[in-house]
Structures are given as structure tokens and as C-alpha cells.
Structure 1
């Protein structure tokens, strides 16, 4: 296979995962080696034979604490000989690479004349724009809302003035209680309906606000509360590679 770098740029719901899984299945069918990695474990569960990037390539978990960040792979490891096996010292050993995602969620980049411009001119971008979830739902209100969100993300929303944007969607509420009642009406009687719960969500910019909302919503439910703690750090950073 000819070595190439492609980028699959598309908003959520347009079918990136379907395209990637189709490519993985097709390439594996014709006996090509494929590796699917993602930044989080949640995304990995959607990819056929997927791994987290940390599990697959061992990049350090905290780049801010290292002056020189290197992948934590032992010397002499089989994984360290990827370039040698392919007899190619180019990026990823000259293998075909397909980064995918909704790049509207990344921070703005100011274009300058750098080496990145040379790379950009050689990268082929693939775009799919039809939101398949909305197409199948047939809800016109959801389609309008989705288009307005894309206009905000693409910077094409009309009416922008002095850096301020007038949003044509949404409802104003006077306090937190009214917000919770709007999003989770009759929660005490409906919280066992998982399909209903999946349609309700409140987004907040900070974790402290999320915790406050969770506590207030849980207080509306009957029964005893339980707290389940999780661990997301290791005692010895040098042993991080031993954990997925």
C-alpha cells in the first residue's frame, strides 16, 4: 500500500466511526495490518480492535512536567523496532495514517509560514457532512438546532458584532432550580427510564458546577446514596506503561 496521510474531518454524528470501522474490516480482510488508537477509553470501545494511544505507543501522561517528552517504551522492546521492521525512517515508518475527529473542538490556530504549511499542502482532507443521526430521526427541530451549532463552530453565524454572537436558540432561566426542572422534569418518577435519561443533559464549564448539579439532582431521588471512588493516577510514573 502506498504511504499516505489522510485527515477525516467531520462533525459528530456524521459517520466517522462507521467509516473507520469499515476501513479496518476491509484492510484486515485483505491481510493488511491495521492499528486503531484513540485518546480515551470511551472512544476505543467504538473502534474494532481499538487501543488507547497511551496503551499502544506509551506517550507520557503529563507532558507539562517533562522538559523532553519521550514515549515510555523499554530499550530493545519489539515496539521500539517499528521503523526497523519497515526499513523506513519516515513518520510512522512510512505507514498510511488516518487521523480523524471534529477539529472544530480544537483551539484556533494562527496560520504562519512554517514547515507545517509544507505538510498541509501534501495532506489530503476528506469531509463528510451529512449528520446521519439527524437524517434517521426526521426531527426538523433537531436539524435546525444542529445547523445553528455548526454555524457557531464554523464562524458563519449571522449577526456577529464586536466579538459578540446572538444565539438564535435556547431558553433563559432565572435560577438553577428552574434549569433542573426544565431539563429533568418529574425526575423522581422517571429516573428509572434509561431511554429518557439519555435525552437529558446539562453542560457546565467547570467540574465544581457539575458536582453541585449532580448533588442537587440526586437529592430529589428516594433511597440511600452510595459513593464509588475511582483511581486515575499511579504512585510511580515510571510504571505507568504497565497500566492500560
Structure 2
């Protein structure tokens, strides 16, 4: 349910029922159904009220179609265009289809998604775009699939709707808390009960690094597990992508200076930092890099502290240090240091209808 329903505790039972029916009606309409066909609508609830008070439906219909996304259709490469055509044909021919778009990082899956969404919405159709986590993916067979089959009164997969999944099997496996290797592998979508029903569509051309084919070939070999290994567990990193003459004590500083050469002196282009990034496999390393970069970044630092007060003041002295030491995945640290024009990245969906989704890169323009 939406936030509108969650805040309706002060409503009468009659109004609560009306609110619930409005939510259900909006979801059914997104699926091409009418709530009236289920005999659930009371006489005093008009279709006009339902349609005009459903937040989700209004949000979908009010999405602005960007011209650049429509123009992207003509810029698709051969594999992207093949995927675009078979998916869109299923939609416009009113046929079912469940696809998995498999492509390594850099094959511009998101570019294809935006082109698909723009084309579908420009023709008056409704298209829902969302992101799934490993946990969400694992419940698709028993939650979303069954729900859509019930709503559409169809035994076809996802109720006969066209559904497109996308990702890269070569990247990090889903996280299963305290799970062993077999449990982690079993949580992958390729081991889902739905996997045999998915039509696989592959993207192979790395558009981000197409001017460096040797690097893209190396990435694919690593991802596919075909790169030669040493000592049974290590792969050799090409010397062309290593820092030269870098002593251990200065390696991190040299890396930061290489990735952000003009940041510390004040670049003429404030957007430059968001187009460059340092990746790490551990949160502790991320924090270490961030502390060094933000300390060198020009401007006055502003510190933001997390809420660390206990409900019972008597427990404050006992738990304060512990609360300050916590750094949950996906959340900022207790002490967050920011500066004007410093780059940040959005880790959790904030407002997808406004384009603020996971991995959106932003720049701090004002701190207050």
C-alpha cells in the first residue's frame, strides 16, 4: 500500500475501506483490469474518485517522456536493437513474454531500458520500472507471479504480462545473511523456478570501453571464469592498468591523485568528479578513501551526525559509543563530512518518479 493508506489511522472504517479499494483499483488498472469486474466497488464509490485519487496511477501517467530517450532508439547497437524489437513486438501484438536481458557492466542495459520505456509510454501504454534485490528476486515465483496470475485470471507466467528482467550473471552474487556457498548460489535468479521460462537475450558489446577492446576482453574472461589463474586462486592483473612505481605507503594517495587530478585544486568543470569513481570491495576501505578525498577537497567542511539518542536517557552513557560505531550497509556513517561541490551517490531509492534511484550520482550544491 502507498503512504496515503499508511497514514489513514484517523479515518473511519468506511473511509478506510474506500481508501483500500482505491489502492486496489489503481493497481488493477495498471494491469489492464477494472475493479468493477470483481464486484468489490460499493455504490457510493465512483470510478472518477478511484481514478483521480490513486497516487500510483497518477504518477505513472504523469511521467515526462524525454526527447533524448526517444532519440536513443535510433542509437541502439545491433544487439540492443534486437532486444528492443522482440520485446516491443510482444507488447504491441498483445502477446506474453518474460525476458532476461543478460549483459556485462558497460553494455548499457539502462540505455536500452530508457529507450523501451520511452517508446512504450509514448504510445499510451503503461510501463512499470523497478529494481529488485536478491531477496526480492527469490520471492518472485510465490509472490508477484501468483498475484499477477490471480489478477489477470490467467495461468500463464506473470499472468500473461510482458516482464523484462536485466542483470549480469558475472557480477556479485546475491547476499544471503549467514548463508553458505550453496545457499548463495540457490538464491540466484538462474536457479529460480521461473528460470526455465525466461527468454534469454544477450548484450555483448561494451559501449563504455569500446575504444579499449583488450580491456573489455580481459573483463569478460574474468567474468566468464576463463582467465588463467595462478596458485589455484589468483588471476594476474595486466600491467597496463596498474600504477607504476607506487610504494605501499603512497599507493592510495597516488591512486586518488590519478582518478581526481584536478579536484584538489578546484576543477573548472564541477561535474567532472561524478564521472570518475574509485571502487572497493569492503566498506572500511570505502570509508578510508572517502576520508582522504574529502579532506583534500577544497572548501569548508560541514559535519552531520546521525541520531544516537536512546529512548531511555539512563541508557545513553551505556550505548552512545556503540551507536556511534555502527555503519549499516547502505547508510551513511555516524559522522558524515560534506563540502559544497563534493560528489555523492544515492544508495537507496528516494523518489524514482523524479529520477532519484539507486546509483544516481549527485553534487552537493548547498549545505544547511
TM-score by length of 2: 0.43
1:38 aligns with 2:131: yes
Q: Secondary structure, in 3 states, of the residue corresponding to 1:26?
A: helix
Q: CA RMSD in A?
A: 4.0
Deviation at 1:84, TM superposition (A): 4.4
1:170 aligns with 2:219: no
**1:65-120 residue CA offsets vs partner (Å, 9 max, x unmatched):** xxxx979xxxxxxxx97544412255432312110112211428769xxx958744
What is the distance in 2 between the residues matched to 1:28 and 1:206? 40
1:208 aligns with 2:208: no
Q: Residue 132 of structure 1 aligns with which residue?
A: 207
What is the distance in 1 between the residues matched to 2:272 and 2:132? 29
1:93 aligns with 2:93: no
Deviation at 1:9, TM superposition (A): 0.5
Aligned length: 195
Deviation at 1:188, TM superposition (A): 2.4
1:21 aligns with 2:114: yes
- Bigger shift: 5-14 or 211-220? 211-220
- The answer to whether the Cα contact below 8 Å between 1:5 and 1:97 also exists between their aligned partners in 2 is yes
Q: Secondary structure, in 3 states, of the residue corresponding to 1:150?
A: helix
Deviation at 1:219, TM superposition (A): 2.4
CA 1:39/1:124 → structure 2, altered by over 3 Å: closer, same or farther? Answer: closer
What is the distance in 1 between the residues matched to 2:101 and 2:242? 30
- The answer to whether the Cα contact below 8 Å between 1:6 and 1:123 also exists between their aligned partners in 2 is yes
- The answer to whether the Cα contact below 8 Å between 1:183 and 1:201 also exists between their aligned partners in 2 is no
- The answer to whether the Cα contact below 8 Å between 2:266 and 2:298 also exists between their aligned partners in 1 is no
Deviation at 1:221, TM superposition (A): 3.8
What is the distance in 2 between the residues matched to 1:23 and 1:221? 39
What is the distance in 2 between the residues matched to 1:81 and 1:6? 19
TM-score by length of 1: 0.61
- The answer to whether the Cα contact below 8 Å between 1:8 and 1:125 also exists between their aligned partners in 2 is yes
Structure with larger RCO (C-alpha < 8 A, sep 6+): 1
1:148-167 matched pairs, under 5 angstroms: 148-167=218-237
- The answer to whether the Cα contact below 8 Å between 1:10 and 1:16 also exists between their aligned partners in 2 is yes
- The answer to whether the Cα contact below 8 Å between 2:209 and 2:215 also exists between their aligned partners in 1 is no
- Bigger shift: 93-102 or 196-205? 196-205
1:1-244 matched pairs, under 5 angstroms: 1-39=94-132, 82-107=148-173, 116=191, 119-135=194-210, 138=211, 140=212, 143-168=213-238, 169-171=241-243, 173-175=246-248, 177-184=250-257, 185=261, 187-191=263-267, 193-198=269-274, 200-228=276-304
CA 1:221/1:130 → structure 2, altered by over 3 Å: closer, same or farther? Answer: closer
Deviation at 1:152, TM superposition (A): 1.1
Q: Residue 45 of structure 1 aligns with which residue?
A: none
CA 1:189/1:87 → structure 2, altered by over 3 Å: closer, same or farther? Answer: same
What is the distance in 2 between the residues matched to 1:81 and 1:202? 41
Q: Greater CA radius of gyration, 1 or 2?
A: 2
- The answer to whether the Cα contact below 8 Å between 2:265 and 2:298 also exists between their aligned partners in 1 is no
What is the distance in 2 between the residues matched to 1:11 and 1:105? 8
